[in-house]
Amino acid sequence: MNKIDKTETLTKILSHRRFTVDVFQREYRWGRKQIEQMLSDFQETFEEYYDPDKHDTPAEVMNYGFYYMGCIICTGGTPNKIIDGQQRLTSLTLLLIYLNNLQKEQAGMGYHTVQFEDMIYDDHFGTKSFNIDVDERLHCLQSLIDNNTSFVADNESAQNMLDRYKDIQDLFPDELKGEALPYFIYWIKEKVLLLEIDTPSEDEAHTIFLTMILTFRLWSTLNRRKSASSMATNCVITIIGSTRRL
C-alpha cells in the first residue's frame, strides 16, 4: 500500500523519544495470539516485495510498500504520555530488541548491519533511557537487551513482556533470518506506519480515543467489502478531520 497522509514511520515515532504510560493503562497485556498475528502480517506484507532469489542491496527497500499499524494517542510535552497505543509500542519494542539481538548473533556472516538502537533507548553517558519509560519495566527491558536468561520478573507487565519476547523467538520466521534480515529491519524501520495524535491535555486525548473507536466501528460497518488498506485510509482521514475540530 501507499503511504497514508499524516502517518509517520517507526523511525520517526520512536527514535530519540520517551513515552510514559497512562496510569489506567499501565499493564502490558498482549498475548501470544496478537504477537503471532503481528509477525504474520509483517511477513506477508514484506514478502510481497522482497524476492529471496533476486535482490542486490537493502537500498531496494526504499521502493517497498508500506504497512499501516494504526493510531497512537498521546498528550504533548516531553515525555509524551500514551493514552492509547502502548500495547503496540511495547510489542514493537520487544520485536526491535529481538531483531537487534538476532543481528548480533549473525555478526561475522557478512550480512549488512543496521543501526537502530536509538529506536529502543537513548544512551546518556552509559545510562539507558528506554523509549517507553515505565519504572516497573526497566529491568526487564535491560535483561532482554543483555540476553540475561536468569532474570526473574517481579510484576505482571514484566512477566508478560518476557513471555511475549519468548513468543517472538519461537514464532519469528526462518525466511526472515540470514540474508533477508537487514532488508526486513529496514522495512520495519521505514515502512511500518503509525498515526500519532498529540493533544494538549488528557481530557482531549480521551475524547479523541472515543472518536477513533466510534469512527472505526462506523467504517467497519459501512465498508465491509473494502480492502483493509482502503478502510485504514478512510478511517485515518476521518479521524484527522475530527481531531482538527476539537
Residue 1: the pLDDT is 62
Residue 40: the pLDDT is 97
Across the 246 residues of the chain, what is the mean pLDDT of every consecutive 10-residue run?
76 93 79 97 97 91 94 84 91 98 92 95 86 92 94 94 98 97 98 87 58 53 50 48 44
Residue 213: the pLDDT is 55
| Separation CA 107–CA 157 (nearest Å) | 31
Residue 155: the pLDDT is 92
List, in sequence order, every beta strand (DSSP E) within the chain.
8-9, 19-21, 67-75, 80-84, 121-124, 127-130, 192-199
Query: Angle at Cα 165 formed by Cα 163 and Cα 166, nearest 5°?
Result: 65
Residue 192: the pLDDT is 97
Residue that the C-alpha cell 543481528 belongs to: 103
Amino acid at 241: G
